[in-house]
Structure 1
Amino acid sequence: MSSGLHTLIRLHKWRLDEKRRALAELQTLADKLADDAGRLEAEIAAEQEIARASPEAGFGYGNFAKLSIERRKRLAQSIAQVQAQIAEATEEMAEAFQELKRYELAQEGRDKRDQAKRKQREDAALDEVALSGFMRRR
């Protein structure tokens, strides 16, 4: 009877671990996208400096700026999507954790009841031994 609950606990631990891994992957992706956005901003700043310093290089800056704006927009959209996925994954992980805790608490309750029954049987056996010893001495 209790082995079924142990199996459920093991299954839910595995599911929780899978959700944790998925969340970690999403957070890694979010970090990578944030790094990409930071690099893009650094590239834009560097190109602006070059365009200011050299009038010949400034002619190509317009195309660079258009592409950079589009790239910035795509990165922002990707970051927003990943943040939404992180929020969803966090919620799923919290639900999986609560479900696991429910089964662990149920198992803990069963273990306590089983231990109390065992102790009660041991006490009854010891009482019987003591009573029979008392009766023999009389």
Structure 2
Amino acid sequence: MSGDLHTLIRLHKWRLDEKRKALAELQTLADKLANDVARLENEIKSEQEIARGSAEASFGYANFAKLAIERRKRLAQSIAQVEAQITEATDEMAEAFQEVKRYELAQEGRDKRDEAKRKQRENAALDEVALSGFMRRR
């Protein structure tokens, strides 16, 4: 009967691993978005430098600036969504970890009780053997 929690522990550990993987994927996505933002900022600075150099380039910069502002806005929205998902995934992972710990502690308690019962039976058997030997010698 003590083995029945081992299956639940394995199941919950698997679920925990899946939640860890999902969180890692979200964090990778957040890193990619942060890199996209940095790249966009570098592009904006570069275009500003070019626009300062000539009147023709400054005319084209206005169009670039509109697109860059829109792209920056979309990236900010994406980052906010991913951060919310990371928060949720972190909470789910913490809950999954608590579930695993709960089952592991319950199994540990069962194992200790089973071991105590086994030792008690073993001691009773040894006592019986000793008593029988004592009675035979008398």
TM tier, smaller? over 0.9
1:82 alignment partner in structure 2: 82
Residue 136 of structure 1 aligns to a residue whose secondary structure is helix
- RMSD (Å) for aligned C-alpha atoms: 1.1
**Residue 2 of structure 1, CA deviation:** 2.8
**Residue 133 of structure 1, CA deviation:** 2.2
Q: Which runs of 5+ in 2 are unaligned?
A: none
**Residue 101 of structure 1, CA deviation:** 0.9
Q: Which runs of 5+ in 1 are unaligned?
A: none
**Residue 132 of structure 1, CA deviation:** 2.0
**Residue 100 of structure 1, CA deviation:** 1.2
Residue 3 of structure 2 aligns to a residue whose secondary structure is helix
Matched, 1:23 2:28: no
The sequence identity of aligned pairs, in percent, is: 86
Letter in 2 for 1:16: L
Counterparts of residues 1-138 of structure 1 (less than 5 Å): 1-138=1-138
- Deviations along 1:31-85, one digit per CA (max 9) or x if unpaired, are 0000000000000011111111222211100000000000000000000000000
CA distance in 1 between partners of 2:64 and 2:82 (Å): 26
| Comparing 53-62 and 23-32, the one that deviates more | 53-62
CA distance in 2 between partners of 1:8 and 1:69 (Å): 51
